[in-house]
Amino acid sequence: MTTATMTAALSTLYFGIPLWGWICAAIALIALLILLIAVSSSSRKRSRWDRSYDIRKADARWFADSLTLAVADRTKSDGELMRTWSDGVPRMSTLSQQLYELSTLAPSNNRARKPRELSVAVDSLRQALDADVRLRTRGYGPGQDAMIAESAMIVGQRRRDLDMVLASQRA
């Protein structure tokens, strides 16, 4: 095919539009479809991530409101305290792991920051409660009342820290 023949073929009119115009329109339509599919897929990923993160926030809220108050209850016997704490620790460990995974899978830097902040607050409270439980179940020693009182204050502060992180992340 010669150049003149190719030029003639490209300038052939279809419905009053040259062939090259139809080719450009087809390419633009394909690009638009690809863009729509990419945006839709990205939106679905963000929605799934948001739902998963909302579940983790609910777990953190349970930790702050239910488990922490149950463990911090000074009227519980050592046996009750240990059972309550032992039952809650695996769930908190799983929560920390899930928050870490969410931060690595986040669709944006802003979304990645949220589970990291929440994880730090959850881990700090868990460590404070763990220390409090060990201190309260170890047996009595001189000066232990003051240490237990200080431990209760630390647990209260860590719980408030977690509450503040949760409050700052409301959508």
> In this structure, what CATH number is given to the domain that contains residue 99?
1.20.120
Structural domain contains residue 55: yes
Domain of 162 in residue numbering reads as 49-168
Structural domain contains residue 78: yes
Total structural domains within the chain: 1
CB 131 within 8 A of CB 74: no
- What digits encode the pLDDT tens for the residues 118-138? 999 999 999 999 999 998 888
Residue with the bigger pLDDT between 148 and 164: it is 164
Structural domain contains residue 19: no
Structural domain contains residue 130: yes
Structural domain contains residue 113: yes
CB 165 within 8 A of CB 117: yes
| pLDDT classification of 2: cutoffs 50, 70, 90 | low
Structural domain contains residue 74: yes
Phi, psi (deg, nearest 5) at residue 169: -105, 15
Structural domain contains residue 71: yes
Structural domain contains residue 65: yes
Can you give the pTM of this predicted structure? 0.73
- What digits encode the pLDDT tens for the residues 144-161? 788 888 999 999 999 999
